[in-house]
Amino acid sequence: MITDLYPELGRIIGTEADRMGIDAYFVGGVVRDHFLQRPCTDIDIVCVLRKESKGSETEDTPHIGIDLAHASADALGGSKVSVFKNFGTASFRYHDLELEFVGARRESYSRDSRKPIVENGTLEDDQQRRDFTVNALAVCLNADRFGELMDPFGGILDLNAGILRTPLDPDITFSDDPLRMMRAVRFASQLGFRIADETFDAIGRNAKRIEIVSMERIMVELNKIMLSPVPSVGLKLMQKCGLMPLVLPEISDLSGVETVDGRGHKDIFYHTMQVLDNVAANSGNVWLRWAALLHDVGKPGVKRYDPKQGWTFHGHEARGAHMVKRIFKRLRQPLGEEMRYVEKLVMLHMRPIILAEDIVTDSAVRRLLFEAGDDIDDLMLLCNADITTRNEEKQRRHRSNFELVKRKLVELEERDRIRNFQPPVSGEDIMTTFGIGPCREIGTIKDAIKNAILDGQIPNDRTAAWQMMLDIAASIGLKPKG
């Protein structure tokens, strides 16, 4: 008996269900997460009309979930109910919970669509259609059986063992609704579960079926994988089962090591996974995690072997930044601020490393601050995560130099206020002073002042910038008006 799963809420819903001749159950994630002691705010309630209440079938029978939602909302204080009549579902918010009610159903599928043909069903039908045994658990809310656990597929045993497997034949489960393959990987990544061998093998056999699923639905699952505690768990599973080449071929292409003259490069795929996990250990920012995933995506396109240098990847940061928009567009990811942020970090991710390996000049650090702006801290986190060498001496040297760059960034930011700075003399100042309209000379003057400040030739203040403006203007034949 499970009597401590939202008991007050469950008894109120159960009372309304009894009054209406309906059997009602908490089902799915809310039950699973109760056993895992994880928070859950999305609560699914499945409703079954009792035989003695059916009488003759009416067109209202499929909508008992909607009816119970209205009755429960009234009993709980009158929350507004959102109804989706075509799907036979209704939902409402209660405090911080989202409750969704649906009549029990069974589903059948056509080969070319993941949209099921839905019919009324029993609780057992409803549990059979669920993706995994751990999501097929149900707890009764009716007074005479309150808290009774319905577990026809051994979901509790699988929960305790940390295993994901399908209630029915996994080939049928994944062929019917291929999104369930992404959900398997996502739950493995989120919960730290293992996908049962027969279930995992079925994903491999049905991987190409993912092509009938909309990219928007795939991305919901992929972003949940990206936000999981150790994202590489899910992404490595995608690579191993064949989903990665279909969803993110650019990342799949990072896999493998090429050897020439006995000299090989590191496996970029596994390096990327380590960088992503390093970032995830320090930040929950999903877009920073995407920058980590894509930071080396340009390497295959620029990879070259040089007998003297070995393997080189010159310009991979620019190639990768150029690829970000195309990848985001295909994946239906946001193309605004989020994409530009990822582009910037991919473009700049080598700069702190290069600085750390060279003489750390004030000018170079100022330019890095100027280009990174408010994202400098995220960039430094990404670059630190990118140090994955197993050579202890090399790692010690990298991190020591990297700390020097970080100290320089702090010192110069405090002294010169470079982050997001705008040159102290504007284009409007120049036009007003010399009585000219928009022209090339304005850009020439502004760029010269900006570069002089970044190179430390003049301080970042209006007096020095103004004098430089006058000097440059005189050199190109501009005179102040009046």
What are the structure tokens assigned to 345, written together? 């970090």
Residue 229 amino acid letter: P
* Mean per-residue pLDDT over the chain, rounded: 89
Instruction: Point out the domain boundary residue: 130, 155, 180.
Output: 155
Question: 207 phi and psi, to 5 degrees?
Answer: -55, -40
Calculate what percentage of the chain has a pLDDT beyond 70.
92
**Residue 356 confidence class, pLDDT cut points 50, 70, 90:** low
Average pLDDT over residues 361-367: 79
| The two structure tokens encoding residue 5 | 């799963």
pLDDT at 317 > cutoff 60: yes
* 289 occurs within a structural domain: yes
Q: Please tell me the least confidently modeled range out of 100-104, 118-122, 355-359.
A: 355-359
Least confident span in 174-183, 206-215, 336-345, 351-360: 351-360
Co-location of 290 and 175 in the same domain? no
Does residue 234 sit in the same domain as residue 283? no
**Residue found under tokens 């799949």:** 252
Query: Does residue 56 register a pLDDT over 50?
Result: no
Tell me: do 282 and 397 sit in the same domain: yes
CB-CB neighbours of 146 under 10 Å: 16
Does 17 share its domain with 46?
A: yes
Residue 345 in domain:
yes
pLDDT value, residue 419: 64
Contacts of 441 (CB under 8 A, 6+ apart): 430, 473, 476, 478
Does residue 431 share a domain with residue 408? no
CATH number at residue 231: 1.10.110.30
Q: What's the gap between Cα 193 and its chain centre?
A: 19
In a domain, 253, yes or no: no
Residue 2 lies in a domain: no
Cα–Cα dist 97/90, whole Å: 14
Asked if residues 384 and 402 have their Cβ atoms less than 8 Å apart, the reply is yes
What pLDDT, on a 0 to 100 scale, did the predictor assign at position 108? 55
Q: How far apart are CA 298 and CA 319, in angstroms?
A: 5
Q: Is the pLDDT of residue 54 over 70?
A: no
222-270 tens-digit pLDDT: 999 999 999 999 999 999 999 999 999 999 999 998 888 888 888 999 9
Higher pLDDT, 299 or 389: 299
Candidates 283, 454, 276; CA nearest to 377 is: 283
Q: Does residue 480 lie within any of the structural domains?
A: no
105-109, 337-341, 350-354, 475-479 — which is least confidently predicted? 105-109
Does residue 11 carry a pLDDT above 90?
yes
Asked if 60 and 39 count as a contact pair (C-beta separation under 8 A), the reply is: no
Distance CA 144, CA 125 (A): 22
Check whether 60 has a pLDDT greater than 50: no
Query: Of 73 and 355, which is predicted with more confidence?
Result: 73
142-197 pLDDT tens trace: 999 999 999 999 999 999 999 999 999 999 999 989 999 999 999 999 999 999 99
Q: Residue 359 burial by CB count (10 A; 0-12/13-18/19+): exposed, middle or buried?
A: exposed
| 99-108, 393-402, 412-421, 441-450, range with the lowest pLDDT | 412-421
Show the domain range for 149: 7-155
Question: Considering 369, 390, 416, which residue would you say is the last residue of a domain?
Answer: 416
Q: Is residue 256 in some structural domain? A: no
Residues 6+ apart with CB under 8 A from 232: 273, 274, 276, 277
Give the number of C-alpha atoms closer than 13 A to the C-alpha of residue 38, restricted to the C-beta side. Answer: 12
First to last CA, the chain: 92
pTM of the model: 0.84
DSSP string, 40-54: --EEEEEEEE-HHHH
422-445: pLDDT as tens digits: 778 888 889 989 888 888 888 889
Per-residue confidence band for 409, with pLDDT thresholds at 50, 70 and 90: confident
183-186: long-range contacts (C-beta < 8 A, 24 or more apart)?
A: 183/131, 183/132, 183/221, 184/131, 184/132, 185/221, 185/225, 185/234, 185/237, 185/238, 185/241, 185/243, 186/221, 186/224, 186/225, 186/228, 186/234
**In total, how many domains does the chain have?**
4
3-class state of residue 93 by DSSP: strand
> Token match 């007998």: residue?
307
Residue 360 structure tokens: 């750390």
| pLDDT score of 200 more than 60 | yes
Q: Are residues 241 and 132 in the same domain?
A: no
Residue type, 294: L
State whether 356 and 465 are in the same domain: no
- pLDDT at 59 > cutoff 50: no
482 found inside a domain? no
Residue where one domain finishes, among candidates 416, 435, 461: 416
| Whether the predicted pLDDT of 58 surpasses 70 | no
| Region of poorest pLDDT, from 62-66, 97-101, 175-179 | 62-66
Q: CA-to-CA distance for 341 and 336, rounded, in angstroms? A: 9
Residue 242: inside a domain: yes
Residues 406 and 380 sit within 8 Å (Cβ to Cβ): yes
Catalogue the long-range contacts made by 232-238 (C-beta closer than 8 Å, 24 or more residues apart): 232/273, 232/274, 232/276, 232/277, 233/188, 233/189, 233/192, 234/185, 234/186, 234/188, 234/189, 234/190, 235/189, 235/273, 235/276, 235/293, 236/273, 237/185, 237/188, 237/189, 237/195, 237/200, 238/185
pLDDT at 61: 53
Whether residue 110 is predicted with pLDDT greater than 80 in this model: the reply is no
Q: Which of 53-62, 87-96, 223-232, 276-285 has the lowest average pLDDT?
A: 53-62
Q: Quick one: which of 153, 120, 186, 113 has its CA closest to 27? A: 153
* CATH number assigned to the domain comprising residue 149: 3.30.460.10
- Whether residue 227 sits in one domain with residue 94: no
> Are 377 and 311 in the same domain?
yes
DSSP-assigned letter for residue 91: E
Residues 131 and 202 both lie in one domain: no
Q: Is the pLDDT of residue 414 over 80?
A: no
DSSP helix/strand/coil, 146: coil
How deeply is 183 buried, as exposed, middle or buried, from its count of CB atoms within 10 A (0-12, 13-18, 19+)? buried
Same domain, 373 and 306: yes
Tell me, yes or no, whether 283 and 238 share the same domain.
no
- Average the pLDDT over 193-221 and give the result: 96
